[in-house]
């Protein structure tokens, strides 16, 4: 299961305060991409009233303004300047499909750029060279573990290009939700360029059994400066179902047995037995413990779903999706690397986020 985004221009794309000039291009450099563009500023006042970004998209076909499926490979916030040339992190789509590349000039507010103002299609299509699954893939489930099977994993990059640490992960997806649930993961280490691993059969703990019926996908992910990024995937035809776990039954309260009657004192006894006095409760125990105010809830950037993150006040949906794609994070400060997240926004959100 591999999800894409939708690239779409507003109906009847109007003349923008800023447009893309005839000189523009891109060039990949490892996990980064250089974006170059001449920007034509037609209305400086209108341009200053918005935030702007250059975006590079990999789409199923050339873009003409109508909604199309694609992956946003990179985003570079820009100021009001006539020429842009800078490196920015790249997140190519997983798999080995052929993609039409589109340069987009988008505007927005608070680090969220969702308004397409201009675009330019590149004549050459792109097939991304990334670590990949080869041959047949499969999995078998046990009660608390899973076996992941892959014929081969290849690194088709140049011989001197050592991959980042690779992870083989099994995920569950529901048709109604874009985010998934990780079921199992196995760290494989790094693979040198022009090399392969063959006939893998890896046992891993089953870390989740979510109730319901799920589509299952096997992901090959690579560690980068921005965290793990999906490089290839295999979707399985048959879904998997788990039943909801029954809540534990409450044990009936124990019934106190009546105390046995004391034996009658013999008549010959001259003295009467005196019952001992019950010990008085200590004053310290009698006082109720003071209530401690609960700490304000925070949302985990490493564990929360995209919907839970998007529910955080002042956190745009696009940035929530970028956080899910880029995790895990070791510190909250690493969030500044996420697309759309700036220092000011992070300072505002720190009180609502946790690891």
pLDDT for the residue numbered 256: 47
| Residue from 14, 93, 99, 108 nearest 54 by CA | 108
CATH code of domain 5-126: 2.60.40
117 within 8 A of 18, measured Cβ to Cβ: yes
What are the sequence ranges of the domains in the chain?
5-126, 132-242, 299-354
42 within 8 A of 148, measured Cβ to Cβ: no
**Is the per-residue pLDDT at 91 higher than 60?**
yes
Would you give the distance in Å from CA 262 to the centre of its chain?
A: 70
At the topology level, CATH places domain 299-354 in DNA polymerase; domain 1 (1.10.150)
CATH code of domain 132-242: 2.60.40
Domain 132-242 in the same topology as domain 5-126: yes
**Is the per-residue pLDDT at 249 higher than 80?**
no
Question: What percentage of the chain carries pLDDT values higher than 90?
Answer: 51
pLDDT band at 287 (very low <50, low <70, confident <90, very high): very low
- Concatenating the DSSP letter of every residue in 70-121 gives EEEEEEEEE-S-SEEEEEEE--PPSSS--EEEEEEEEEEETTEEEEEEEEEE
The model scores a pTM over 0.85: no
Per-residue pLDDT tens for 326-352?
888 888 888 878 877 877 788 888 888
Bridge partners of 141, per DSSP, are: 146
């Amino acid at each position: 299961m591999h999800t894409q985004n939708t690239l779409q221009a507003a109906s009847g794309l109007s003349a923008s305060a800023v447009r893309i000039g005839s000189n523009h291009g891109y060039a990949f450099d490892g996990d980064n991409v250089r974006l170059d563009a001449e920007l034509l500023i037609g209305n400086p006042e209108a341009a200053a009233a918005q935030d702007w970004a250059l975006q590079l998209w990999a789409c199923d076909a050339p873009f003409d303004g109508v909604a199309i499926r694609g992956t946003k490979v990179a985003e570079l916030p820009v100021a009001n300047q006539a020429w842009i040339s800078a490196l920015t992190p790249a997140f190519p789509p997983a798999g080995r499909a052929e993609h039409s590349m589109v340069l987009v000039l988008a505007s927005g507010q608070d680090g969220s750029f969702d308004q397409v103002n201009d675009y330019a299609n590149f004549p050459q299509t792109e097939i991304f060279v990334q670590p990949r699954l080869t041959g047949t893939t499969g999995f078998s489930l046990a009660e608390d573990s899973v076996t992941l099977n892959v014929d081969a994993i290849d690194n088709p990059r140049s011989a001197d290009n050592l991959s980042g640490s690779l992870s083989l992960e099994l995920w569950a997806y529901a048709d109604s939700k874009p985010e998934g649930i990780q079921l199992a993961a196995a760290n494989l280490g790094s693979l040198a360029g022009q090399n392969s691993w063959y006939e893998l059969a890896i046992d891993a703990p089953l870390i989740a059994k979510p109730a319901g019926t799920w589509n299952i996908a096997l992901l090959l992910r690579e560690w980068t400066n921005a965290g793990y990024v999906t490089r290839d995937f295999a979707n399985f035809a048959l879904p998997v179902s788990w039943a909801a776990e029954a809540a534990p039954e409450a044990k009936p309260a124990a019934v106190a047995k009546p105390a046995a009657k004391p034996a009658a004192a013999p008549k010959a006894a001259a003295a009467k037995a005196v019952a001992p006095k019950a010990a008085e409760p200590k004053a310290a125990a009698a006082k109720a413990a003071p209530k401690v105010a609960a700490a304000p809830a925070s949302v985990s950037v490493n564990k929360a779903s995209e919907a839970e993150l998007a529910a955080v006040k002042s956190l745009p949906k696009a940035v929530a999706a970028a956080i899910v794609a880029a995790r895990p994070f070791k510190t909250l400060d690493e969030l500044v690397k996420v697309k759309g997240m700036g220092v000011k926004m992070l300072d505002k959100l720190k009180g609502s986020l946790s690891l």
